[in-house]
Amino acid sequence: MLSLEQLSQMVKVHLGLYSYTDGVQHFSKWNIGESSLGGRGLFATEDVAAGEVLFVDHPITRGPRAGNTVVRGCTVCCRIESDSFFKCCKCSLLLCSEKCQDTTTHYEDCNTICRWDTKVPIEEIDDVVLSKALAPIRALLMNEDQKLLMAALQAHRLPQHGAEVRGLKEYFDIPEEDEDLMTLACCALDTNAFQIATSYGKKEMSLRGLYPVSGLMNHNCVPNTRYSYNQDSQMAVKAVKPIRAGSEIFTSYTGTLWGTPARRTHLYKTKHFFCKCDRCADPTERGTLLAALKCFSPECPGSLLPIEPLNSSSSWRCLECRLRVPIKTISILQSALGSLMGSLDFENVDQLENFLVNRVTKYIPKTNQIVVDLQCRLIWELGESDGLRWHELTESRLALKESLCRGTLRTAAALGVGDAHLRGLLLYHLHAALAERARRSPELYEELKAEIESTIEQAFHILQGDISAPPDLELRHRYLGPGCDKPHEERFFILDA
């Protein structure tokens, strides 16, 4: 294993902070150290201000995600909607056009795969198996320094990891050296990979990337950083709140708005540890009650929460009447709620709205993560989807969107997420709802002006430069943000368009 000094040197070279040729070393406000959580982590060497860029990482390998459900798409441009998909006659990778087939990306992928002898005719090879394994296949193209960086990352080597390579071996005779490196890549990816964002509203295959510096950050359920991507899959890691010198720099491996049981279960299944951060230790999760269930006593309006949230077998207790419920009963209810959610058609906005407004809170408190998840799904759809564009929204739906944005922003604020990506998107959508109200009723503009301007200013500050930012973010900031001296009609022409 690399020493801390060796790893630090390689990381600086990888990030472009150090050059072997001229010996120049650029400045950074963090270093690599031993973490109290176990293993290594990143630590601030100086005070870091909120919004400050800590580093810009790039992947040493990337490719489609390898979950149980894989959407087929072009292995070069990642588009998933095409009438012209075909399999390469040499390697069987799926492509959408000759243009993509003629790229350097496909040339390298194809050459790598074509080195192996096949066990079946090439046309019989499952392109989904190849797609799942593309990130570890591309790891074979790493240089020696990149291989050392990958080997320095924590990698779980349990039997369930490396399934992508086992799938390949059904179709190819793979040399042992290639198999070992790809298996290591699978283990490193399962432990450290980040999902790479796509352009806002664009339908593409979901990608994962192995970012060796970002992968050194440990997890916290209320992280002090966020990350964003540009068109080249570079990851910019920024502070979402002030970080004091000596403090560890954290990211999050889970959903911000998930309740503690869901987060801890996900972390155990995917990363093989149980989180014990301050948020996980607080039964109320800073008063958000994201995991809460309704009290089983018909007369009681209280909420059930785990007595010892760091103990997965803990009983739950009502905050009001103190009724105690065994974990077995809670698990049955949570399973039933999962089945109920599984029955929903998430593409049907009418069904989602009806379920949120009229049904779901009969079973669980309005603070529960399921309710919050439904709120977010509606927020992202209302005003954005075909048939639900801003000018097509009814007054009641416009009011609902505004209310959902405000409520979810309050939850995010209570959690202390700072200027997280989620907060930026929520502010953008709240701004858009307010701007649409002012467009429809110009007499309300002066009353709404300050909030219209402040919400887009904050959203722009958080989301600018992010590939997943709404495409009209900059235009809205220019015409509806603070400092614009255009008359009312000119300000709002962008909404009419």
Say if residue 224 is in the same domain as residue 160: no
Say if residue 31 is in the same domain as residue 69: no
248 — pLDDT class (breaks 50, 70, 90): very high
Q: Determine contact, residues 32/11, Cβ cutoff 8 Å.
A: yes
Say if residue 92 is in the same domain as residue 197: yes
Sheet of strand 53-57, all strands in order from the earlier edge strand to the far edge: 53-57, 235-239, 225-229
**Residue 276 forms part of a structural domain:** no
Q: Determine contact, residues 138/191, Cβ cutoff 8 Å.
A: no
Say if residue 71 is in the same domain as residue 176: yes
Q: What type of residue is 15?
A: L
Q: What type of residue is 496?
A: D
3-state secondary structure of 42: strand
Q: For the residues 462-470, what does the mean pLDDT come to?
A: 93
**Tokens encoding 409:** 């922003």
Q: For the residues 313-327, what does the mean pLDDT come to?
A: 97
- Residue 36, domain CATH: 2.170.270.10
Helices and strands: H and E segment counts in the chain: 19, 18
Helices of type H across 282-383: 327-342, 349-354, 369-381
497 — pLDDT class (breaks 50, 70, 90): low
**Would you say residue 407 has pLDDT above 80?**
yes
Q: Give per-residue burial for 177-210: e unless 16+ CB within 10 Å, then b.
A: ebbebbbbbbbbbbbbbbebbbebeeebbbbbbb
Task: Report how many domains make up the chain.
Answer: 3
Distance CA 352, CA 415 (A): 25
Write out pLDDT tens, residues 142-158.
999 999 999 999 888 77
**pLDDT in the model for residue 158:** 78
Length of the chain as a residue count = 497
Q: Which residue has the tokens 């990888």?
A: 14
pTM: 0.91
**Residue 16 forms part of a structural domain:** yes
Phi/psi region, residue 51 (left: phi>0; alpha: psi -120 to 50; beta: rest), is left
Q: For the residues 301-325, what does the mean pLDDT come to?
A: 96
Write out pLDDT tens, residues 258-312.
999 999 999 999 899 999 999 999 999 999 999 999 999 999 999 999 999 999 9
**Would you say residue 348 has pLDDT above 60?**
yes
**Residue 241 forms part of a structural domain:** yes
In this structure, the strands spanning 248-251 and 218-219 are parallel
Q: For the residues 334-353, what does the mean pLDDT come to?
A: 91
**pLDDT in the model for residue 266:** 94
**Residue 360 forms part of a structural domain:** no
Say if residue 392 is in the same domain as residue 478: yes
Give helix 395-415 / helix 369-381 axis angle, nearest 10°. 130
Write out pLDDT tens, residues 189-223.
999 999 998 888 788 888 999 999 999 999 999 99
Say if residue 135 is in the same domain as residue 26: no
**Residue 291 forms part of a structural domain:** no
Say if residue 48 is in the same domain as residue 76: no
Say if residue 47 is in the same domain as residue 72: no
**Residue 331 forms part of a structural domain:** no
The shares of helix, strand and coil residues in the chain, as percent rounded to the nearest 5, are 45, 15, 40
**Would you say residue 22 has pLDDT above 60?**
no
Say if residue 195 is in the same domain as residue 218: no
Distance CA 239, CA 228 (A): 12
Query: In sequence order, which residues have a C-beta less than 8 Å from that of residue 400 and are 6 or more positions away?
Result: 353, 357, 378, 382
**Residue 411 forms part of a structural domain:** yes
Say if residue 184 is in the same domain as residue 102: yes
The torsion defined by the Cα of 344, 348, 354 and 355, in degrees rounded to 10, comes to: 20
**pLDDT in the model for residue 25:** 56
Sheet of strand 218-219, all strands in order from the earlier edge strand to the far edge: 30-34, 40-44, 248-251, 218-219
**Cα 420 to chain center, whole Å?**
11
The full DSSP string for 229-248 is E-TT--EEEEESS-B-TTPE
Say if residue 222 is in the same domain as residue 191: no
Q: Determine contact, residues 138/109, Cβ cutoff 8 Å.
A: yes
Q: Which percentage of the chain shows pLDDT scores above 70?
A: 97
Q: Determine contact, residues 386/368, Cβ cutoff 8 Å.
A: no
Domain that holds residue 13: 4-58+211-251
* Cα separations in angstroms, 155 against 180, 189, 200, 344, 428: 13, 8, 32, 36, 38
Query: For residue 328, how many other CB atoms are within 10 A of its CB?
Result: 9
132 — pLDDT class (breaks 50, 70, 90): very high
Say if residue 102 is in the same domain as residue 226: no
Distance CA 103, CA 354 (A): 47
**φ, ψ of residue 302 in degrees (nearest 5):** -75, 180
Distance CA 368, CA 334 (A): 11
Query: In sequence order, which residues have a C-beta less than 8 Å from that of residue 451 and are 6 or more positions away?
Result: 434
- Computed over every residue of the chain, the mean pLDDT equals 92
Write out pLDDT tens, residues 43-74.
999 999 999 999 999 999 999 988 767 778 99
Q: For the residues 314-335, what does the mean pLDDT come to?
A: 96
Task: Single out the residue in 140, 173, 206 at which a domain terminates.
Answer: 206
Q: Determine contact, residues 101/88, Cβ cutoff 8 Å.
A: yes
**φ, ψ of residue 92 in degrees (nearest 5):** 75, 10
Distance CA 196, CA 64 (A): 10
